[in-house]
Structures are given as C-alpha cells and as structure tokens.
C-alpha cells in the first residue's frame, strides 16, 4: 500500500486586525501562509472567513474555524498553526466624524486633568512645607535669611516642568522615536487588557452556545 504524504501548510495568525465594516475578510487578511505548492497557497489565502457587520465594535475569529474552512477545500494538506488560538477583529467606524461638542469635551477633559495635576503638586508642596525648605537651603548657602528666596524657587519651578517632560520622554524627538514613554507603556497595557477581556468574554459566550 502506497502512503501519500500530505502537503505541509504553515499558518501564522495575527493576534489583532483593524478593519472597516462591510468587508469580507479572507485568510490573507488574518494570517501569513507558507506552502511549497503555490497553487494551494494562493487558494488558501483567498478562502473567505468572515463578513464584518456594521454597528459592531469587535468580532473574534477562532483558529479552529479557519482550519475547518481550509479542510473543506483542501483535505490533502497537513495544517501547522502558529500564534494565538483567536484573532480579535477591531472594527473601525468609517463614518466617524468629530463635531464641536466632541472638541469641547476633549478641551474640558484637558482642563480638568491640568487643574487636577496642578492641585496635586500644590498639595504635595504644602504637605512637605517646601517654602520653608527653600528658606533653609538659602540660609545654608548664603548664610542669611530670606522670606522669598526666588533665586531658588524660580529655577525649582522651571526644573519641575522640565523634569516631568523628561520623565514622559518628550524632550528629544530622536529619543521619543526610539523609546516609548511611561504613558505609551500604560496605554499599551490598557489596550492589551481590553483585548484580552474581549477575547475571554467572546469565548465564554461561545461555550454557552
């Protein structure tokens, strides 16, 4: 009995895809495919997987569904999968527009954050009595008392702003391009947690069905 070896097909799926509503996503949109047989590779890449509906923010494609679609068309291939078992489809709103109220909302949020940050700095300096600290430092350096040591307070205030800008990595444009700022890291972790939540929630819904 002659044993016919199956063609090897390698698939590496993307963890997340950004797309517009109303599109039909194929495997070429969701994954990278390697196969020595070019005709099989092209056929697999053009297999339709999911229609992206409107009025939905996200969908999840399971790798098992992709494998099933491939096996329906090619039962003579051995499928090797790399990557996540699920693909998160982030559906962007192509009709999204910004009106005056949204800009006002952004402005209001910026004002609230700025006032909150300023109050936090003020409360901190009052709590540690920074004014008396400056007076003490001035006395140690000059040997005289000064109720308003502006020569220390002005550079300190300027340095506080420069220090915050340096901490958030926005002083040098070259450095900003090379290294993410702490805010970038926090936003990355936030988006990662959101994606994991959506995937877990979708899996639980599918298991109930």
Q: Considering its fold, how many domains does the chain have in total? A: 2
What local confidence, expressed as pLDDT, does residue 19 receive?
87
Pair of tokens at residue 188: 């990355």
pTM above 0.75, yes or no: no
Higher model confidence: residue 206 or residue 191?
191
pLDDT higher than threshold 80 for residue 98: no
- Identify whether 164 is part of a domain: no
Domain boundary among 92, 124, 152: 92
In what helix (H) or strand (E) does residue 61 lie, and over which residues does it extend? Answer: strand 58-62
Share of the chain above pLDDT 70, in %: 87
Pair of tokens at residue 129: 């009595």
Domain boundary among 63, 92, 121: 92
Q: Do the strands 7-13 and 77-82 form a parallel or antiparallel pair, or are they unpaired?
A: parallel
What local confidence, expressed as pLDDT, does residue 131 receive?
86
- Identify whether 51 is part of a domain: yes
What local confidence, expressed as pLDDT, does residue 205 receive?
61
Average pLDDT (85-94) is 82
> How far apart are the C-alpha atoms of 168 and 180, rounded to whole Å?
9
Domain boundary among 77, 92, 107: 92
Q: Do the strands 16-20 and 86-92 form a parallel or antiparallel pair, or are they unpaired?
A: parallel
State phi, psi for 81 to the nearest 5 degrees: -110, 140
- Identify whether 193 is part of a domain: yes
User: According to the per-residue pLDDT averaged within each range, which of 105-119, 175-189, 191-205 is highest?
Assistant: 105-119
What local confidence, expressed as pLDDT, does residue 2 receive?
44
> How far apart are the C-alpha atoms of 205 and 209, rounded to whole Å?
7
Pair of tokens at residue 160: 């506080």
What local confidence, expressed as pLDDT, does residue 100 receive?
85
- Identify whether 48 is part of a domain: yes
What local confidence, expressed as pLDDT, does residue 167 receive?
74
What local confidence, expressed as pLDDT, does residue 67 receive?
92
| Beta carbons of 45 and 33 less than 8 angstroms apart | yes
- Identify whether 186 is part of a domain: yes
- Identify whether 187 is part of a domain: yes
For residues 100-139, b (16+ Cβ closer than 10 Å) or e, as one string?
A: eeeeeeeeeeeeeeeeeeeeeeeeeeeeeeeeeebbeebe
Q: What is the CATH number of the domain that holds 56?
A: 2.60.480.10
What residues make up the domain containing 192?
Answer: 179-208
Q: What is the pLDDT of residues 6-56, one digit of tens each?
A: 788 999 988 888 888 888 899 999 999 999 989 999 999 999 999 888 877
Average pLDDT (123-139) is 88
Average pLDDT (171-178) is 59
Strand partners, 59: 89
What local confidence, expressed as pLDDT, does residue 111 receive?
94
């Amino acid at each position: 009995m002659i044993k016919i070896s199956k063609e090897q097909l390698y698939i590496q799926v993307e963890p997340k895809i950004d797309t517009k509503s109303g599109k039909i996503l194929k495997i070429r949109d969701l994954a990278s495919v390697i196969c020595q047989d070019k005709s099989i590779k092209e056929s697999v890449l053009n297999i339709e997987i999911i229609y992206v509906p409107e009025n939905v923010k996200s969908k999840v494609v399971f790798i098992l569904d992709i494998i099933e679609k491939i096996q329906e068309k090619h039962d003579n291939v051995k499928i090797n999968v790399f990557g996540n078992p699920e693909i998160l489809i982030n559906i962007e709103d192509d009709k999204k527009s910004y009106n005056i109220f949204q800009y006002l909302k952004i402005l209001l949020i910026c004002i609230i954050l700025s006032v909150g940050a300023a109050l936090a700095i003020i409360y901190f300096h009052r709590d540690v009595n920074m004014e008396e600290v400056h007076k003490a430092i001035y006395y140690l350096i000059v040997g005289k008392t000064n109720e308003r040591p502006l020569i220390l307070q002005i550079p300190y205030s300027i340095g506080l702003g420069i220090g915050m800008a340096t901490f958030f990595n926005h002083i040098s444009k070259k450095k900003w391009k090379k290294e993410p700022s702490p805010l970038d890291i926090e936003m990355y972790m936030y988006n990662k947690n959101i994606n994991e939540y959506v995937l877990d929630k979708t899996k639980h819904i599918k298991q109930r069905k």
